[in-house]
Amino acid sequence: MSASLRRIGVVGGGRMGTGIAEICARAGLDTVVCEADATAAHAARARVTASLARAVEKGKLERACAEDALARLVFTGSLDDLADRHLVIEAVVENPDVKTEVFAALDKIVEDPEAILATNTSSIPVMRLGMATRRADRVVGLHFFNPVPVLPLVEVVASLHTAPETVTAVEDFAAALGKSVVRSQDRAGFVVNALLIPYLLSAVRMAESGFATAADVDAGMELGCAHPMGPLKLADLIGLDTVASIAESLYEEFKEPLYAPPPLLQRMVQAGLLGRKSGRGFHVYGRG
């Protein structure tokens, strides 16, 4: 790992943020996770602890390595604790206003002018976030995939202002974490979601129209196309609110009907039926 990126910060302690923090700590990096407050920070620590325990139980990680990783993690409720970081990865809710506010705050707090501010956004233009700072050349997209400890891909997205050395640094960082990198232009959805989201929305429309049940849509793609997970199960796993947010970003940029979130998806989000994390989406899941 490059000596210049040894102290890592992660803003957001949800599924993505804690996954990113976990792999950083497992790679031997000093990692600080920042949440909204102390209670949320405690919940984030419990999330990482449980993930490490599962890895040990499945024989994918030695217990001593899990304990070492947890010892490298600090959980806080204050952004000020990220002041000395070399790289800060934002992984908060997929909302452009919230993310912009985080970047503006980090720009004032992170002391090293050469420090890199990265976003895990799956759809929001990196340029918008970079322009909220005075260091747009040090702002870059670093999009991990869920579950972060398992899926090997990272999308690296440079804005028109991102310096080449910033891109090189985060690509080396991702590789040192054991990830494979693909580059994307700074367009909504990048590579993967620009292809994936229209597919998921098509499945939603098929269920919405009564053309087929959610179970049959998923079975068709799993058994007929050898997909490991059907599109509606995948949407539930991603989170229907996240799918809707990405769709809205894609539609705002490209203005193509295939990117528009279907009414059923919007109603489910309004009803709090968000998929696995809420216990119900297109399918029903047990809690806990």
| Active centre residues (catalytic) | 122, 143, 155, 193
> What is the separation of C-alpha 111 from the centre of its chain, rounded to a whole number of angstroms?
25
Q: Please write down the HEC assignment for all residues of 270-285.
A: HCCCCEHHHCECCCEC
How many Å apart are CA 249 and CA 131, to the nearest integer? 18
Q: Which two tokens stand for residue 262?
A: 């279907």
Residue found by looking up tokens 């449980």 in the block: 50
Nearest to 170 by CA among 140, 128, 148: 140
Q: Measuring CA to CA, which residue among 236, 218, 230, 245 is closest to residue 279?
A: 236
How are beta strands 87-90 and 139-144 bridged, if at all?
unpaired
Q: Is 247 helix (H, G, I), strand (E, B) or coil?
A: helix
147 preceded by a cis bond (ω within 30 of 0): yes
What tokens appear for 233 in the block? 């199960």
Containing 62, the helix (H) or strand (E) segment is none
- Taking alpha carbons only, the member of 93, 44, 40 closest to residue 73 is 44
